Amino acid sequence: MHASNKMEKLNLSPASELALSKIVLGLWRLNNIPANELLEILHYSINLGITSFDEADIYGGYRSQEYLGRALKAEPSLRHAIQLVSKAGVILPGSVFTKSGIGYYKTTQQHITQSVEKTLGDMNTDYLDLLLIHRPNPLMVPEELDAVFQKLKKAGKVLHFGVSNFTSNQFDMLTQRMETPIITNQIELSVLHTTPLNDGTLDNCIKNQIKPMLWSPLAGGALFTGKTEQIHRVNGVLAEIAREHYNAAIEQIALAWLLKHPSNAIPVIGTLNKERILSAITSTHIELTDEQWFRILIASQGHPMA
C-alpha cells in the first residue's frame, strides 16, 4: 500500500483538535512480547495509516503498558508519530490498589492521578493523547473528575479526555456538570452486539457531535470461533455479501458494517497479526448498500424489521 493510500484521520469532536486514525489498534491482548517484535507491529501499522493505539492501566494484569513502554524506550522518536489512548478508573481484584482484595471502580482525584502517573511511567512517555474513564462508576462525582482532568491537562500529562461504556444518561450527567470537553465514548459494538443501535448510546454521540470508539468490533473473535445460532446466521450473510464485494473477507464486511453508521465510529481492532491488520484496513474502502447493511442486522437480531 502506498503512502497516498494511507487511511484518513478523524477528528473526535469539534471541541478538540485530536484526530485518531480511522481504525485504532487495541493492545489489550499484548502478552510478554519482546520490544523488537512489538516495534515491528507498530511500524507495520503506522505505515498502513494506523497511528492510534488503545491501552488501559489494567490490561494484561497491569503489564501491557510496560511492553509498549519498552518498545517506546527502544525507539523514542516513535512517540510523536502516534496517538496514545489509555484508561483509568477500574481496580482489578488482588491488585495493589485494593485493600480488601475485591475489584471495583474508583474515580477519585487521588486514584486517577496515581493511575495516570503509573501509565506514563510504564509507557515511557510524558503525555497521553486521550484518557478515558474506563467504566461508569456509580460513586463518580463530576466536579471531582473535572478538577483532576484540568490538573492533568494543565500539567501537560493528558491532552484530551473521554469515557468508556457510558449510557447516554451517564454521558449527559457527566458532561453537563463539567467544563472539560468529553470527546468520545468507547463502547462495545459489532455485528453480534447491536444494542447501542437501539438504546440511544449512538444517537447521543451524534447529538453531542462526538465520534464513538468501538471495542471488540469483531466480537472479540467470537465471529470466527463461536457456535451459536446467531453467529451461524450472521456468518452466512457476511459470506454472501463478501462474495458480492469481489470476494472480500467476512471480517472486512463486519467492519464495513460498523463504518457505515452515521456516527462515524472508530473501530478498535484487537488482532496483532499483520495479515489481519492489513485485511481490516481494506474494510475502509468497502461501502455497503443500505440493503446489505440491513441484511446483516436482520441476521443478527434473528427477525425481520418491524
Ligand X SMILES: NC(=O)c1ccc[n+]([C@@H]2O[C@H](COP(=O)([O-])OP(=O)(O)OC[C@H]3O[C@@H](n4cnc5c(N)ncnc54)[C@H](OP(=O)(O)O)[C@@H]3O)[C@@H](O)[C@H]2O)c1
Catalytic residues: 59
Cα–Cα distance for residue pair 45/51, rounded to 1 Å = 7
Number of residues that bind ligand X (CB under 6 A): 24
220 counts as binding ligand X under rule CB under 6 A: yes
Which span (25-33, 113-121, 137-145, 168-176) binds ligand X, by CB under 6 A? 25-33
Q: Where are the alpha helices (DSSP H) in the chain?
A: 35-48, 59-62, 64-74, 109-123, 142-154, 168-176, 195-198, 201-207, 222-225, 229-244, 250-259, 274-282, 290-301
Cα–Cα distance for residue pair 180/193, rounded to 1 Å = 30
217 counts as binding ligand X under rule CB under 6 A: yes
Closest separation between CB of residue 195 and ligand X, Å? Answer: 14
28 counts as binding ligand X under rule CB under 6 A: yes
48 counts as binding ligand X under rule CB under 6 A: no
Cell readout for 77 is 522518536
Of these, 41, 182, 269, 296, which contacts ligand X (CB under 6 A)? 269
Cα–Cα distance for residue pair 42/57, rounded to 1 Å = 19
212 counts as binding ligand X under rule CB under 6 A: no
184 counts as binding ligand X under rule CB under 6 A: no
End-to-end CA distance of the chain: 43
Amino acid at 2: H
Of these, 114, 271, 282, 301, which contacts ligand X (CB under 6 A)? 271
Cell readout for 58 is 489494567
254 counts as binding ligand X under rule CB under 6 A: no
69 counts as binding ligand X under rule CB under 6 A: no
Q: Which is nearer to ligand X, 216 or 284 (CB)?
A: 216
Closest separation between CB of residue 4 and ligand X, Å? Answer: 25
Of these, 112, 218, 248, 259, which contacts ligand X (CB under 6 A)? 218
Beta bridge partners of 132: 87, 162
67 counts as binding ligand X under rule CB under 6 A: no
Handedness of CA 114, 120, 126, 130 (dihedral sign): negative
Burial label, 102 (beta-carbon count in 10 A; 0-12, 13-18, 19+):
exposed
Residue 85, C-beta contacts closer than 8 angstroms, at least 6 positions apart: 20, 24, 52, 53, 54, 55, 128, 129, 130, 131, 132, 213
Cα–Cα distance for residue pair 247/232, rounded to 1 Å = 19
272 counts as binding ligand X under rule CB under 6 A: yes
Closest separation between CB of residue 137 and ligand X, Å? Answer: 13
239 counts as binding ligand X under rule CB under 6 A: no
Closest separation between CB of residue 269 and ligand X, Å? Answer: 4
57 counts as binding ligand X under rule CB under 6 A: no
300 counts as binding ligand X under rule CB under 6 A: no
Q: Which is nearer to ligand X, 215 or 257 (CB)?
A: 215
**Among 253, 268, 252, 283, residue whose Cα is nearest residue 220:** 268
Cα–Cα distance for residue pair 267/280, rounded to 1 Å = 10
Of these, 270, 286, 295, 296, which contacts ligand X (CB under 6 A)? 270
Binding mask 137-176 toward ligand X (x if CB under 6 A, else -) reads ---------------------------xx-----------
248 counts as binding ligand X under rule CB under 6 A: no
Cα–Cα distance for residue pair 160/253, rounded to 1 Å = 31
**Using CB under 6 A as the criterion, which residues of the chain lie in contact with ligand X when the complex forms?**
26-29, 54, 164-165, 186, 215-221, 224, 251, 268-273, 276
